[in-house]
A and B are shown apart, each in its own frame.
Chain A
Amino acid sequence: MTIQPPPSGARLLRRLVPNENHDALLGDLCEEYQRDRSLRWYRAQILAAIVVGSLKNVRRHWLLALRAIVIGAATLVAYFQVFGIMVLNKVHWIRLPGLAGFFVMASLFFLAGFAVSGWAIVRFDRRYGIALALPFAAVMTALSFADIARTLWTPHSLATVEMFFTLLVKPLFPVSVLAGGYAATRRARLA
């Protein structure tokens, strides 16, 4: 009897990078896993395959990647225009449980917005899996960290809540984009 690696890795790779043929690579990973490799090694190889495959897709389809950034930005604007105004109009009757409650709700509202933008990017063109969400997530990472650097440089200019928001929640924006993108990818079947 042969010891097979957990199928979740292969499933995740096929789900996130669907347009490539991974059979030879997965066969090699399987062979190495049976020989002497650890589960940690296997997972690292799957992660590397997802990153390499996605970056290859972005390089090959850079126009689609640019379009994805536009789609992400447009979705964010629409989300905050529609839901932001809706929330502001209703805020007088929403009973906010103190400052901490407001902080949590505002954070969830923002994170949901970024997840929706990631979802929209991938849903718009599902051929390349998570790849097209990566450039937008990269832009969001750059903007978030620029903001964090600005906050750390001039900490007195911000109120405590805003500072917490910048330091704790903004780094999660790109994660939300990728989580939303993941939700929009097609579930893969194992061959």
Chain B
Amino acid sequence: MAGGSSLGTADLMILLVLMRLGDDAYGVTIARDIEETTRRPVALASVYATLDRLVERGLATSELGEPTAERGGRAKKYFRITGKGLRAVRAAKQSLVKLWKDLPQLA
């Protein structure tokens, strides 16, 4: 894996969630998906901090939706994984699988 595209656990987790959610990936759905998967409470602010970092690195893109009354007139910010993000996820998977194979007790 190239040094520039190395992913931390939070980065990888969020990129995977972006892939799972597709067009419906915004703060609430992403945080809920992580909470359901990890069974731990998630701070929305840290989800956004990770998402902003991924956007800065070109691994994800963001787009504003329409403001709604339910959200106090504020727009949703939708996120989507980029081609570079997809390649980084694949590379991370390959590295992890290689490491996993050498540990039969975790198989």
Q: Give the interface of A toward B (CB within 8 A).
A: 2, 4, 23-32, 34, 44-45, 48-49, 51-53, 56
Contacts and interface: CB of A to CB of B under 8 A. Distances in A.
A34 B72 CA distance: 10
Contacts of A27: 27, 67-68, 71-72, 74-76
Given A24-B27, A24-B48, A52-B49, A30 B43 contact: no
Chain B CB within 10 A, most for which of A27, A30, A53? A27
B45 A53 contact: yes
Contacts of A52: 43, 45-46, 48-49
Nearest to A17: B45
Given A24-B76, A24-B77, A25-B27, A30 B71 contact: yes
B72 A28 contact: no
Contacts, number: 65
B69 A26 contact: no
Contacts of B71: 27-28, 30-31
B43 A28 contact: no
Nearest to A41: B41
A28 B46 contact: no
A181 to B, nearest CB: 20
A48 B72 contact: no
B45 A30 contact: no
A28 B27 contact: yes
Contact of A49 (B45, B67, B68, B70): B45
Contacts of B45: 25, 45, 48-49, 51-53
Contacts of A24: 26-27, 48, 64, 74-77
**Top 10 closest A-B pairs, CB basis?**
A27-B74, A24-B77, A27-B71, A49-B45, A48-B43, A28-B27, A52-B45, A30-B72, A48-B45, A23-B74
A44 B45 CA distance: 11
Category for how many chain B residues contact A: 20 to 34
Contact of A23 (B44, B68, B69, B75): B75
B41 to A, nearest CB: 8
A23 B66 CA distance: 12
Interface in B34-70: 43-46, 48-49, 64, 67-70
Nearest to A46: B45
Contacts of B26: 24, 28
A26 B74 CA distance: 8
Given A28-B26, A28-B28, A56-B49, A45 B74 contact: no
With a 10 A CB-CB cut-off, give which of B27, B64, B74, B77 has the most chain A CB atoms. B74
Given A27-B67, A27-B68, A52-B49, 17 more contacts: A2-B69, A2-B70, A23-B74, A24-B26, A24-B76, A27-B72, A27-B74, A27-B76, A30-B72, A31-B70, A31-B71, A32-B28, A45-B43, A45-B45, A48-B44, A49-B44, A53-B45
